[in-house]
Every structure is written in C-alpha cells, then in structure tokens.
DNA sequence: GGGAATATTCCC
DNA sequence: GGGAATATTCCC
C-alpha cells in the first residue's frame, strides 16, 4: 500500500540517498548497491555507523538502522555479509520507495463522527454511568466477546488486504510486461 | 503511578540534570529553577534550544521539548514567561522523579493479528476470575476504549480494501486495453 | 527479528 | 496541548 501523502517515508529516502552518495565519493568501500541493483551491502559496519549514519539519522547505532530496515520489511539476504533487499528498493528507482510501508501501520486520524457504537458498548456505558455494579461482570464478558469478534474480523480484513497486495503486484508486473513487449 | 524499573524516565533525569548544570556555570540566565523550587523557567528559549538541548537530547527544537513536558504532565504556569511545573518535579528532590509517568500509558495495541489477547483484555479477564469488583468500572472503560479502537481500525481496513478494489478494476481495464490494442 | 517503551516530528 | 506517525532505544 502506498503512503497517503505520496512521498516515501523519510527513512527510505535517507537510506536511498545515502547509497547514491556512497557512489559519488570513495565511500563505496563502506556501503554500496549490490551488483544486481536490487539491494545493498554494508561492507564496513563500523565505519558506516561512525561516519555515515549520523549524517542522515539522529544516531550512530548500526542496530537501530537494522531495526528500521526490519520495520520496513527489508530482508537480510546473505549470512556472509550485511546485505539487505526489499522488492521495491532498487537502484535508479527512487519513486518505487513510495510503495514501501511500515509493517505495523497503526491507524491515524479518523473522523470522530464515524465512531460507531454497539449495543454491548452502549449498555456498558449506561451501567457505568448509573453505577449499577450488578451487571458489570456480565458487561465485561459481553465486551470481551465483542472484542474477540472485532479482532477476528480485523484479522480477516488484513488477510484480504494481503491478498490484494499480491494481486496488485502481479497485475503491475503483467502490465509492465505488455509495455516492454509492445 | 511509579515506573516499573524504579528509575525515572530518561527525559525527566535529563531535564533535572540540565537544571542542575544551569546553576553551575553562567547559564542561569538561560534556564533555572523558579524561586520556590517547584518548577523552572526557560528565560531564553532560543539560546536554550541552540546551546543546551543538543547536550541532552537528539534535537534542538524547543517545541519537541515542550511536547515532552506535556507528555509527562507538566503545566505551563505563566502566560508571561516559559515557566513549567509538575508537583513531583522539585529542586533537590531528584528521587521524586520516579513518581512521574507518561500520560498515555494505554498498553500497546495488538497490531499483530496473530495475537489472540490484548493487555486490557487479559487484565479484565484476570479481574473477573478473581472477583475483584473494584476495578470493574476501570476494566469496562479500558475495554470500551479498546473496542472503539478496534472498530476504527476495522473501518480503516475496509476503506483500504475499497481502495484496492478500485485500483484492481483500473488495472484490469488497463490490461484489457493493452490486449485488445496489440 | 520483532514487541514495546520512549523520543522526536508533524499536524490539527 | 495533544493525537498520531515515525524514529530510536531497550530488551526478549
């Protein structure tokens, strides 16, 4: 899923730019795109952390950098060196970055007037207001059941979305295939 | 509520230490404890942000500092100057800081859709089992909050799915266009 | 690797 | 001021 504001996450832009920079001067020995251009390699983590990270981020910790890579779904693709890949992180394709999102994308602003209220919910609210303690355990049970149901429904929706993402990717591949072949 | 690990939040320690430092050298003109010792005043926000903040934090933005103060429940106590107070933030009482906690201590959410049960959920369940009625109203509130959040998240997911459906349709149209024209 | 707490930023 | 997204840290 693409970001709302159509601009990639700062972390992705910085990491991409950092790799462009590494090509410019002699820092290619520290970090560089891999041969295929579909990932990158940190050749010298110590130098990388000390010299390059602080120019782009508010820290010089390699592990924090790795944590961010994981957050955005990058995979470590070699056990022998610090190589990372993400299908939408490719040399020369800066605009592809907009398609990369954080794994855990908690919701944001939502019109409050859309806030729904269920029967269980309203009942519990009334009982809180009326200090009617008798039914509280019952309310708790109802609410927890509803809670479980919501969680299940969310999970189903998320699976549906995952399906759509795969589908979208295939369609895009398909389209690009047509474009190049005709 | 005190923190779990018995040590104050880093932000509080740094802010406290910063005020101690300000007494040592000539920086008392920039920031200092107030007369009563139950709060502090930033006399010169520009100098404060430029010279002192970076020594303690990863930024030099006054507004970020303010945001943290608000998060920890400090109040601005004067309209004429940048004075802030918190009942447990007092000169000479560094150990009082442990009693200050972030406002929004809502336990984190269940983003991973593999997780069956949230902290609120478990807490409520435990209290039901133990017949501890004292916390039932609190549980109800927590559960209802969680409920609202789940509902909001569901709605967002549904909107995302709607978006995908539109996208899919367009892509398919696009594809059929290619097919017929070539 | 990733969950979760805390920090920083962005925006209303 | 504060909600929420993103970044950084801490810890398993």
CB B88 within 8 A of CB B97: yes
Please identify residues in chain A, positions 63-92, with a C-beta within 7 angstroms of any atom of strand C.
63, 67, 70, 75-76
Q: Is the pLDDT of residue A150 over 90?
A: no
Q: What share of chain A is helix, strand, coil (3-state, %, to 5)?
A: 60, 5, 30
* pLDDT for residue B81: 93
CB B11 within 8 A of CB B72: yes
Point out the residue among A106, A164, A167 whose CB comes nearest to the CB of B111.
A106
Which two tokens mark A10? 């700062």
User: Which residues 90-119 of B are in CB contact (within 8 Å) with A?
Assistant: 109-113, 116, 118
Q: How far apart are the first and last CA of chain A?
A: 28
Strand A82-85 to A75-76 pairing: antiparallel
φ, ψ of residue A32 to 5 degrees: the values are -160, 165
Cα–Cα distance, B69 to B76 (Å, whole number): 9
* Average pLDDT value for residue range B4-9: 77
Strand B31-33 to B39-42 pairing: antiparallel
Tens of pLDDT, residue by residue over B87-100, are: 999 999 998 999 99
Gap from A106 CA to D7 C1', Å: 15
* pLDDT for residue B107: 38
A54 CB less than 7 Å from any atom of strand D: no
Give the contacts of A24 (CB within 8 A, at least 6 positions apart). none
CB contact A169 to B (< 8 Å): no
Q: Is the pLDDT of residue A12 over 70?
A: yes
On chain B, the residues whose CB falls within 8 A of the CB of A175 are 171, 174-175, 178
Q: Is the pLDDT of residue A130 over 60?
A: no
Task: Pick the more confident residue, A156 or B133.
Answer: A156
* pLDDT for residue B39: 97
Q: Is the pLDDT of residue B71 over 70?
A: yes
Q: Is the pLDDT of residue B181 over 90?
A: no
Helix (H), strand (E), coil (C) string for A38-95: CEEEECCHHHHHHHHHHHHCCCCCHHHHHHHHHHCCCEECCCCCEEEECCCCCCCCHH
| Residue carrying structure tokens 């394709």 | A93
Mutation to test the B interface, candidates A4, A104, A116, A143, most B Cβ within 10 Å? A143
* Average pLDDT value for residue range A136-143: 70
Cα–Cα distance, A41 to A27 (Å, whole number): 12
Tens of pLDDT, residue by residue over A33-79, are: 999 999 999 999 999 999 999 999 999 999 999 999 999 999 999 98
* Average pLDDT value for residue range B161-170: 76
* Average pLDDT value for residue range A140-166: 73
Which two tokens mark A74? 């990058």
Query: Which residues sit opposite B42 in a β-bridge?
Result: B31, B82
Mutation to test the B interface, candidates A59, A123, A135, A140, most B Cβ within 10 Å? A140
On chain A, the residues whose CB falls within 8 A of the CB of B113 are 151, 154-155, 158-159
3-class secondary structure, B40: strand
* pLDDT for residue B135: 59
* pLDDT for residue B112: 33
Q: Is the pLDDT of residue A151 over 50?
A: yes
Size of interface A-B (CB pairs under 8 A): 124
On chain A, the residues whose CB falls within 8 A of the CB of B60 are none
CB contact B145 to A (< 8 Å): no
* Average pLDDT value for residue range B139-149: 70
Task: Pick the more confident residue, B67 or A25.
Answer: B67
User: Which residues 32-61 of A are in CB contact (within 8 Å) with B?
Assistant: 58-59
Beta strands in B8-122 (DSSP E): 31-33, 39-42, 75-76, 82-85
* pLDDT for residue A136: 65
On chain B, the residues whose CB falls within 8 A of the CB of A145 are none
pTM for the predicted model, two decimal places: 0.60
Q: Give, in order, the Cα–Cα distances in Å from A54 to each of A16, A49, A50, A181, B156.
A: 15, 7, 7, 45, 36
In chain B, the percentage of residues whose pLDDT exceeds 90 is: 46
Cα–Cα distance, B41 to B13 (Å, whole number): 17
Q: Is the pLDDT of residue A138 over 90?
A: no
On chain B, the residues whose CB falls within 8 A of the CB of A137 are 128, 136
Q: Give, in order, the Cα–Cα distances in Å from A182 to each of A173, B35, B178.
A: 14, 79, 9
Q: Is the pLDDT of residue B6 over 60?
A: yes
Q: CA geometry: angle at A84 spanning A79 and A85, to 5°?
A: 125
């Amino acid at each position: 899923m693409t970001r709302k504001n159509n601009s990639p996450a700062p972390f992705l832009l910085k990491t991409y730019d950092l790799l462009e920079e590494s090509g410019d001067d002699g820092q290619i020995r520290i970090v560089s795109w891999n041969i295929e251009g579909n990932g990158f390699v940190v050749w010298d983590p110590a130098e990388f952390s000390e010299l390059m990270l602080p120019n782009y981020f508010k820290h010089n910790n390699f592990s924090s950098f790795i944590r961010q890579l994981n957050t955005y779904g990058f995979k470590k693709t070699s056990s022998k060196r610090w190589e990372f890949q993400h299908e939408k992180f490719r040399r020369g394709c800066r605009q592809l970055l907009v398609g990369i999102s954080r794994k855990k994308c908690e919701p944001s602003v939502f019109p409050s007037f859309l806030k729904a209220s269920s029967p269980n919910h309203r009942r519990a609210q009334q009982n809180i207001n009326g200090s009617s303690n008798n039914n509280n355990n019952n309310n708790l049970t109802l609410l927890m059941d509803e809670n479980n149901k919501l969680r299940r429904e969310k999970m189903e929706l998320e699976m549906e979305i995952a399906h759509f993402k795969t589908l979208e990717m295939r369609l895009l591949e398909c389209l690009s295939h047509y474009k190049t072949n005709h």
